[in-house]
């Protein structure tokens, strides 16, 4: 990642705190595809809406995200994309 286009999320001490200014940092909605409770919490504190995939509905990630899809990420992402495409056509 280019240092000029990166910034840091508050509340994380690991390398996961580094995000792109024009990507995650600028986004309103972020998908956290794997269990990552610390990052989910940091994103929520930064005012982001968080969608996550998790097999455990009682995990910290699941409990902290705005929307939790309890399913396998590789199976569910295709369904999420398909439904987003359908909804975006209804908005137009």
pTM: 0.79
Give the closest residue to 48 by CA, choosing from 84, 14, 78, 11.
11
- Residues 45-75 pLDDT 10s: 999 999 998 999 999 999 999 999 998 888 8
Residue 44 has pLDDT above 80, yes or no: yes
Residue 37 has pLDDT above 70, yes or no: yes
Give residue limits of the domains in the chain. Answer: 3-91
- Residues 13-34 pLDDT 10s: 988 889 999 999 999 999 988 7
User: What DSSP letter does each residue of 32-48 carry, written as one string?
Assistant: E-S--HHHHHHHHHTT-
Residue 39 has pLDDT above 90, yes or no: yes
Q: Reduced to 3 DSSP states, what percent helix, strand and coil does the chain have, rounded to the nearest 5?
A: 40, 20, 40
pLDDT, residue 28, reads 96
């Amino acid at each position: 990642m280019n240092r000029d286009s990166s910034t840091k999320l508050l509340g994380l001490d690991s390398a996961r705190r580094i995000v792109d200014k024009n990507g995650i940092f600028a986004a309103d909605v972020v998908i956290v595809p794997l269990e990552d409770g610390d990052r989910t919490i940091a994103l929520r504190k930064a005012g982001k809406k968080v969608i996550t995939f998790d097999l455990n509905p009682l995990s910290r990630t699941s409990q902290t995200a705005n929307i939790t899809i309890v399913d396998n990420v590789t199976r569910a992402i295709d369904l999420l994309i398909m439904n987003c495409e359908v909804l975006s056509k209804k908005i137009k």
